[in-house]
Amino acid sequence: MKILELRLANFRNHKKLILNLDYEIVLLTGANGAGKTNILEAVYALSTGKSIKAKYDRDMINYTARFTTAGADIENSSGKYLLEMQVIKEPDASNISSKKTKVNKVPKSLVSFSGIFNSVMFSPEDLNIITGSPSERRKYMDAILVQTDKNYKRNTSAYLKAVRQRNKILEKIAEENRGRDEIGYWTKKCLEHGTYIQEQREKLFDYFNKKLPETVEKLNGKDTAVEIKYLMNEISEERLKKHEEHEVHAKTTLVGPHRDDFCIFHNKHNLSEFGSRGEQRSVMLALKLCEINYIEQENDERPVLLLDDIFSELDENHRSSVFNILEQQQTIITSTEPPDFLSTKSNTHEIKVL
């Protein structure tokens, strides 16, 4: 898996940018604010069809422009592809935009587009996955699974549509005492698609629980009890029926994967509440290494690794662990200055971002 060339138009601060990335290790250097992270954001968006950091798609558009386009020539085990994603502002709507995706210049659905190119991004902000809200952790699960399972994206889109329709009917029942004859159809759709989503999430967490403890142990050089718990808000016919009256009063669907979460226990303590920043950073690095291996297991190909200014955050042991995997896949690194340890990597190509 490799990205050969990246082309950006009106992507955040990059009005027009073309980068040759056809190297094993790419180092993007430049001052803070030059837009190095924005380049990684664009690369990652070509994997999942979504920004890793923007709340709304239109946040990726340069504030002076009406649209943004991110395009790339990529290569995977199936061959070479030309990928393009365009986000267009809707006039007179503050947060609404439309999105178009193409593969080899042919319009494709987001389901068909996502996962052709795979990447894993690691940045200091990833600690929010551990310490932030449940929505951050659901976004993390989804970003992995849309790259490994085409049906996951399809089921997620269908599930969220079903939840929105079901919520409208719940509101109608609560406020107008009508619509009970309509709710059954959307309940069935929620059950169908929600069950698939939770099955795939269970599979992911089974893998994490097998691999995470040994990965943390290798990083830290000592035996550490680590467990990642999938807090499934199980969707089932019985639970939906049981909670239906509560949902009518709340005017929203209370059961299903849109309320899933997970937490990590480190030496039997909740890492979010009781872990030090160092412990959180160590486990997050281990989780990212497991993420790379999971995508490789499912797709028979290692994803591109995106490292966003992480080395100042890591101690020597953890820097060494990252250093040892740099050449196992294409790696793109951002840093204000070239890290000293990269001087021994002759296959590193530096690009200055101005």
- pTM of the complete model: 0.94
Pick from 148, 152, 149: which is nearest to 293 by CA? 148
- 232: tokens are 């499934």
Whole-number CA gyration radius for the chain: 22
pLDDT band per the 50, 70, 90 thresholds, residue 218: confident
Q: pLDDT (tens digit, 9 = 90+) per residue, 270-311?
A: 999 999 998 999 999 999 999 999 999 999 999 999 999 988
Residues 351 and 231 in one domain: no
Residue-range definition of the domain harbouring residue 10: 1-118+301-354
Give the CATH number for residue 259.
1.20.1050.90
**Residue 184, annotated ligand binder?**
no
Q: What angle do CA 305, 152, 264 make, to 5 degrees?
A: 60
Domain boundary (258, 280, 300) is at: 300
- The total domain count for the chain is 2
Give the CATH number for residue 39.
3.40.50.300
**Residue 278, annotated ligand binder?**
no
Residues 331 and 274 in one domain: no
Average pLDDT over residues 111-137: 95
**Residue 30, annotated ligand binder?**
yes
Supply the pLDDT for residue 65.
94
Residues 187 and 314 in one domain: no
Residues 202 and 259 in one domain: yes
pLDDT band per the 50, 70, 90 thresholds, residue 315: confident
Q: pLDDT (tens digit, 9 = 90+) per residue, 14-64?
A: 999 999 999 999 999 999 999 999 999 999 999 999 999 898 999 999 999
Helix (H) or strand (E) holding 10: strand 2-11
Domain boundary (300, 320, 342) is at: 300
- State the DSSP code for 28: E
Residues 246 and 130 in one domain: yes
Average pLDDT over residues 315-330: 89
**Residue 71, annotated ligand binder?**
no
**Residue 35, annotated ligand binder?**
yes
316-353 burial string, b = 16+ CB within 10 Å, else e? eebbebbbeebeebbbbbbbeeebeebeebeebeebeb
84 forms beta bridges with: 71, 102
Q: Distance between CA atoms of 76 and 116, rounded to whole angstroms?
A: 8
**Residue 79, annotated ligand binder?**
no
Residues 145 and 267 in one domain: yes
**Residue 221, annotated ligand binder?**
no
**Residue 34, annotated ligand binder?**
yes
Residues 114 and 174 in one domain: no
Residues 131 and 164 in one domain: yes
Residues 223 and 253 in one domain: yes
Helix (H) or strand (E) holding 112: helix 110-113
The region of weakest confidence among 89-98, 147-156, 170-179, 270-279 is: 89-98
Residues 202 and 157 in one domain: yes
Residues 235 and 262 in one domain: yes
Domain boundary (259, 285, 300) is at: 300
- pLDDT above 90 covers a percentage of the chain that reads 86
The CA-to-CA distance between both ends of the chain, in Å, stands at: 27
Supply the pLDDT for residue 47.
97
Residues 98 and 111 in one domain: yes
Q: pLDDT (tens digit, 9 = 90+) per residue, 86-121?
A: 999 988 777 889 999 999 999 999 999 999 999 999
